[in-house]
Amino acid sequence: MTVPMTDAPSSPSSPGYERIRVVPAVGALGAEISGVDIKEIDDSTFAEIKRAWLEHLVLFFRGQRITPAHQAAFARRFGELDTYPFIKPIPGHPEVIPIIKEPENRVNFGGGWHSDGSYMPIPPKATMLYAIDVPDRGGDTMFANMHAAWEALSPGMKALLDGIRGVFTASKVHGDGGYYAKADHPMEKIKDKETIDNRSEHPIVRTHPETGRKALYVSQPHIERFKTMTAEETAPIIQYLVAHATKAEFITRFHWQAGSLVLWDNRSVQHYALNDYQGQRREMHRITIKGEEPR
């Protein structure tokens, strides 16, 4: 499933919106927003953008021509900006990190279903990604709706999961022997041992603080075990939940173009950056926005 490409209308509007055009994506979540230059957004337009974001969980903007400062200014309207502990940021912009894969690199960044920063005591509520350079083919990102995944579970599975807390850690991917330990991506890495070794506990079923909707919170690369179970006991349940949550009926797939900007809600969305463009270059600028303690 790929988000349809649309041109900005001469008079941007959609049912329920007066200042922007909102076209729902093909799939279980996401919407393309047009008629907007994110460098020039007044408060009324931003209010509609935020409402669309809470409704659709992922927003897609095309044709943006922005600097890291513009991206940071737009992201800051959603909340305080976060920093990423494992990659050197762009000089002069401590909240903006480069996500780069050169033609000779084999491993990409974000190549598996996950929610950003779920190992942090207070994970980021949102991620904003801007495309600088994209491959001629491939390099799409998939997004999965964790509200829909939760709602589709059986009453018995819901009863089992509701109230359980998970133990999350960065060590599985960033620690010695982790997925990124020997990764050949060219971003300059930071070895933040304190963050790697930390363990954070979060509910497996979290309630969105702005909409009140429940969602699964089971970021597989980061969850070590359920708090009241061993890792061995936890593993098959997590395996089932990830397989369930990433079924086709819960997914939208986005095809990037240079100038595309995407904002997604880490509280209710997982994503997967496809690594199907070997021999080609891809560069993105990423910002995360501070969240709240999961409840």
Give the angle 29-128-186 at the CA atoms, nearest 5°: 120
Residue 116 falls in the annotated catalytic set: yes
Which residue among the candidates 114, 208, 225, 267 is catalytic per the annotation?
114
Q: How far apart are CA 16 and CA 48, in angstroms?
A: 9
Among the listed residues 139, 142, 136, the one whose alpha carbon sits nearest the alpha carbon of residue 60: 142
Residue with tokens 């390099």: 139
Which residue among the candidates 206, 271, 282, 285 is catalytic per the annotation?
271
Residue 159: Cβ within 10 Å count: 10
Q: How far apart are CA 86 and CA 187, in angstroms?
A: 10
DSSP three-state, residue 245: helix
Residue 271 falls in the annotated catalytic set: yes
DSSP letter, residue 88? P
Among the listed residues 103, 155, 104, the one whose alpha carbon sits nearest the alpha carbon of residue 133: 103
Residue 208 falls in the annotated catalytic set: no
Among the listed residues 157, 159, 167, the one whose alpha carbon sits nearest the alpha carbon of residue 230: 167
Which residue among the candidates 62, 202, 267, 286 is catalytic per the annotation?
286
Among the listed residues 74, 64, 251, 100, the one whose alpha carbon sits nearest the alpha carbon of residue 189: 100
Which residue among the candidates 116, 140, 225, 285 is catalytic per the annotation?
116
Residue 192 falls in the annotated catalytic set: no
Residue with tokens 């790697």: 196
Q: Catalytic residues, which ones?
A: 114, 116, 271, 286
